[in-house]
Structure 1
Amino acid sequence: MITGEIRNRVDKIWETFWTGGITNPLTVIEQFTYLLFIKGLDETETTKEQEVEFLGIEHEGVFPKDKQHLRWNRFKQLGSAEEMYDVVSNEVFPFIKNLHGKEESAYSKYMGDATFLIPTPNMLAKIVDGIDNLPPTEDRDAQGDLYEYLLSKIATSGTNGQFRTPRHIIKMIVELMKPTPEDIIIDPAMGSAGFLVAASEYLRDNHSDMFLVQGLKEHYHNTMFYGNDMDRSMLRIGAMNMMLHGVDNPNIDYRDSLAEINKDKEQYTLVLANPPFKGSLDYESVSNGLLKIAMTKKTELLFLSLFIRILKPGGRAAVIVPEGVLFRDQKAYNTIRKEIIENHKLEAIISMPSGVFKPYAGVSTAILIFTKTGAGGTDNVWFYDMKAEGFTLDDQRSPIEQNDIPDIIQKFNNLEREKERTRNDQSFFVPLEELRENNYDLSINKYKDIDYEEIEYETPERILNKIDTYEQEIIQGLKKLKESVKGL
């Protein structure tokens, strides 16, 4: 999570935007992100220059020789705020808008209508100075925390699940799924592209040799990452976020993933998502193909139908769902659970505590992991009751020692050892036959055994005698107190 010091710096920059007349949170984040992106380009360029100098090889930089004055470290040192404002607004911003070149690239598509809205030189100077004191973009965790904190300020974040998935939860899900260099990964409700960024980081950290293979390197930059969203501002932020994290050409589209216009079918090998799960849609606006699995207006169920449709056979999904999806006894809910369990391979249900999404929402959620087979395969489903994830479960979300995440990852990677666990443990298996008997209920409390500890209470007579004794002691104490007051 973001530290208090960095939080205070961000709040101060935010206040500069606010007092300068930019009060829409999403607009602030956009303008903030543009400048973070400009700073990140310069830092990345500096790192590459140092590397090629050490290796003694040629390097074609992002900034041509005649554009060196557009670098962050150059324009921030200009003599006056007016001079810096002129360079940033008239040269730097147009430069980053046209940076990618290819008209069909995600970056070019969503930067095309980007607008520089900082109104005055003094305001820009204050913001540049504030951003200059934030962590460098090479500090990936700090940058991720920074984005999460910025996005938490969006007024609508409580109703848009993809805006506010905590980074440590995203990272855990990615580590559970272990993306491979051959995967084709999608988040159909991508928001700021948090899942895609985390997957790209995992591959860089665990499969760095893929960048020595031309085909895999090209795949990473051009055909591995896909994301959809219906907010152009978030698409811009997501595109910049992916580029800052080293993905040259992510496939990011303005699209309602649930609508008929989305024709994707058996196209991806890995779905990572926390789709919106508040609200309903009219049948008319939903793809007919999704309604074939379960006739419903509920977005949380429609997205599950979508994941099944867009995955290739053998493709995997790790998605966050509201707890009601696991146990609600209604036809559409039962149908989608039965579909995943009987026609595909349900692998795990990880129940998360309700405070994970605070302070935005107190909804209880779970992570559902399955593989698309089209021919069944569910045998024993692994359940885990997450009780702590490293932060308090109140609105403050302060760091604490208790954290089940390392245990979840370790156990999921060694499921053979889980077979001996009992229903009293924090994790255990439930066989397919038992799920069938319980109408495909996937609530962990349906199967968990709870040990009740017998408590012996004192008899009412003894309790009353104690109360009487305490009362006499109080009366005696009051008498002594009155006598001492009279003597004064």
Structure 2
Amino acid sequence: MTTLTEEPAEMPDTESRETAALTRSLVDKLWSYCDVLRDAGVPAIDYVEQLTYLLFLKMMDEQEKKLARKGKPNRVLPVGIDWDTLASKKGEELKKYYEHVLEDLGKRPGTFKLIFLGAQNKIQATGLLERLIKDLIGKTQWSKEGVDVKGDAYEELLSRSASDVKSGAGQYFTPRPLIRAMIDCVQPTPEDTIVDPACGTGGFLLLANEYLRREYPMESLNPDQRNRIIHGQAFHGVELVRGTARLAAMNMLTHGVVPSGNEEIIEVGDALLSEPKVRASLVLANPPFGQKSAITVLGEDGKVVKDEAVYSGRDFWVTTKNKQLNFLQHIAKLMKIDGRAAVVLPDNVLFEGGAGETIRRRLLKEYDVHTLLRLPTGIFYAGGVKANVLFFDRKRPSETPWTSKLWVYDFRTGENFTLKQRPLRREHLQDFVDCYMPGKPRDERTQTERFKPFSYEELVEREKVNLDITWSPASDENATAQLSAQEIARSIAQDLQSALAQIEAVINELSADN
């Protein structure tokens, strides 16, 4: 398969504003069809999935024509499949040809298989399908829009579909301001192999790619470094749900990351079932929340088989049913020596006893667990989630513990966010990034009211090595006293939501056991 090699250029502020305006215009145009299709029974996430198929076909068709104009004719799409044929048909004939295209491409290797395996036409109304193909996708020259416009437009579509609570898409969408802050702290380089073992729609890989292209202009890199970014060898994601994996693959594609040959940037499967295929120098992840682990097998025919199981076949420190603890063990194992990790984890990983205590002890001793960001509620699409970001580095075996100090940043006390009225923005996390001091020795860090260090000895002496550390910054004690009744009620409601979610998880686990 011929690859795209578009590269974004550095843009002045005026051009950036123009790009943003073009992106908004394109998103509004694409999203305008969502309301129409929703009335026809097509949820937002299914709409984005159908757009994925059609955008891929249109972009590949444009690539073929671009090569032909340059006197380098080369088939990108298989013989017998092309956009012009699709767009020329009407009614039932169009629907049948479209479904034939989906089925045929699902049998092809590489990126075709990743995006089209198990693909189905969810738009049964032929009139709507024809409008989508001819009026929306067909009238836009996607290759002329540039990487920034079409990539940001696709990402914005994913963001809007994530807000569609009924579709459940939000579980695959980590807030982008949080990801950007995490990436600004760990500072990826062109030499890194960046892995997300639960990649969802690809947010971490996508924004790592954005960071690399901004901080390391393509013309400043050697050919190997440039190819690692453009053709995706620098990135590897694993996603359990095939439909979500295809969204991640398309997200990377529209942002200028295109695998060469039959390589796949996004792997479909359960990362916890087998040893990792790729060792990471940098792990960025937000593993799925939930107590019960399950083996899910997706056959070549697209059928899913689930079987409750404990992940006991892996080289983990301890066997447990807790999915987050298993992901934490998996991440620790897939890291290279001197590798770094920044991982979103729920509160229970910090305080749960038994397996949790064993894992925390091993992690503190064998890894340098150096920073913990306590996150407020109201920033995730799942209500009431209390989460944290844990930063740690893998080190060579040593008789003495590698963790000397764990710096904890309290971004929870006195902070209230909502998805609509007060959404989290990147600037809200700037103080944390400043305290983190990216790229500088950690012994130069300074304690503040929100940022405090705890020694290894203090941590292991805490009951069950509990890392659920809280305190009341002085500046927030006064603020707390002035909280309105509405803010207090909101805080109580968020705590109740979190408690109910944990109770529901326990009930589900007990029901499964019975």
TM-score range, shorter chain: 0.7 to 0.9
Instruction: Please tell me whether residue 254 in structure 1 is matched to residue 268 in structure 2.
Output: yes
Task: Report which structure shows greater RCO (CA 8 Å, sep ≥6).
Answer: 2
- Aligned pairs (5 A) from 1:476-487: none
Counterpart residue number, 1:30: 49
Note the residue ranges of structure 1 that are not aligned, 5 or more in a row: 457-488
- Deviation track 1:337-383 (CA, whole Å, cap 9, x = no partner) reads 2222111111211111111114x322111111111114342112222
Distance in structure 1 (CA, Å) of the matches to 2:99 and 2:257: 21
Instruction: Please tell me whether residue 231 in structure 1 is matched to residue 241 in structure 2.
Output: yes
Counterpart residue number, 1:336: 359
Counterpart residue number, 1:411: 435
In structure 2, relative to structure 1, the CA distance for the partners of 1:157 and 1:255 (3 Å cut) is same
- Deviation track 1:258-314 (CA, whole Å, cap 9, x = no partner) reads 22xx12278221211111111212797343255741332111111001001111111
SS in structure 2 of the partner of residue 404 of structure 1: helix
In structure 2, relative to structure 1, the CA distance for the partners of 1:41 and 1:177 (3 Å cut) is farther
Native 8 Å contact 1:270 1:317 kept in 2? yes
Instruction: Please tell me whether residue 280 in structure 1 is matched to residue 292 in structure 2.
Output: yes
- Deviation track 1:155-197 (CA, whole Å, cap 9, x = no partner) reads 3637x74x12112222222222222112122211111112111
Native 8 Å contact 2:180 2:426 kept in 1? no
Letter in 1 for 2:166: A
Distance in structure 2 (CA, Å) of the matches to 1:171 and 1:154: 24
Distance in structure 2 (CA, Å) of the matches to 1:418 and 1:89: 65
Task: State the shift of 1:27 in Å.
Answer: 3.0
Native 8 Å contact 2:338 2:394 kept in 1? yes
In structure 2, relative to structure 1, the CA distance for the partners of 1:41 and 1:405 (3 Å cut) is farther
Distance in structure 1 (CA, Å) of the matches to 2:479 and 2:420: 35
Counterpart residue number, 2:325: 301
Distance in structure 2 (CA, Å) of the matches to 1:366 and 1:322: 6
Question: For structure 1, which segment, 187-196 or 148-157, has the greater mean C-alpha deviation from structure 2 after superposition?
Answer: 148-157
- Aligned pairs (5 A) from 1:35-50: 35-38=54-57
Native 8 Å contact 1:25 1:154 kept in 2? no
Letter in 1 for 2:199: M
Distance in structure 2 (CA, Å) of the matches to 1:282 and 1:115: 25
Aligned counterpart for 2:211 among listed residues 193, 202, 221:
202
Distance in structure 1 (CA, Å) of the matches to 2:200 and 2:113: 18
Distance in structure 1 (CA, Å) of the matches to 2:433 and 2:74: 40
SS in structure 2 of the partner of residue 361 of structure 1: coil
In structure 2, relative to structure 1, the CA distance for the partners of 1:258 and 1:75 (3 Å cut) is closer
Native 8 Å contact 1:184 1:223 kept in 2? yes
Aligned counterpart for 1:124 among listed residues 113, 121, 129:
129
Aligned counterpart for 1:386 among listed residues 405, 411, 424:
411
Instruction: Please tell me whether residue 90 in structure 1 is matched to residue 97 in structure 2.
Output: yes
Structure (1 or 2) with the larger CA radius of gyration: 1
Counterpart residue number, 1:486: none
Counterpart residue number, 1:459: none
Instruction: Please tell me whether residue 168 in structure 1 is matched to residue 177 in structure 2.
Output: yes
In structure 2, relative to structure 1, the CA distance for the partners of 1:202 and 1:39 (3 Å cut) is farther
SS in structure 1 of the partner of residue 113 of structure 2: helix
Counterpart residue number, 2:36: 16
Task: State the shift of 1:126 in Å.
Answer: 3.7
Native 8 Å contact 2:372 2:391 kept in 1? yes
Letter in 2 for 1:257: A
- Structure 2-normalised TM-score? 0.70
In structure 2, relative to structure 1, the CA distance for the partners of 1:321 and 1:406 (3 Å cut) is same
Task: State the shift of 1:4 in Å.
Answer: 9.5
Native 8 Å contact 2:379 2:417 kept in 1? yes
SS in structure 1 of the partner of residue 379 of structure 2: helix
- Aligned pairs (5 A) from 1:108-187: 108-128=113-133, 129=135, 138-139=148-149, 140-153=151-164, 155=166, 157=168, 161=171, 163-187=172-196
Native 8 Å contact 2:345 2:388 kept in 1? yes
- Structure 1-normalised TM-score? 0.73
Counterpart residue number, 1:466: none
Native 8 Å contact 1:385 1:426 kept in 2? yes
Native 8 Å contact 1:148 1:167 kept in 2? no
In structure 2, relative to structure 1, the CA distance for the partners of 1:6 and 1:94 (3 Å cut) is closer
RMSD: 4.4
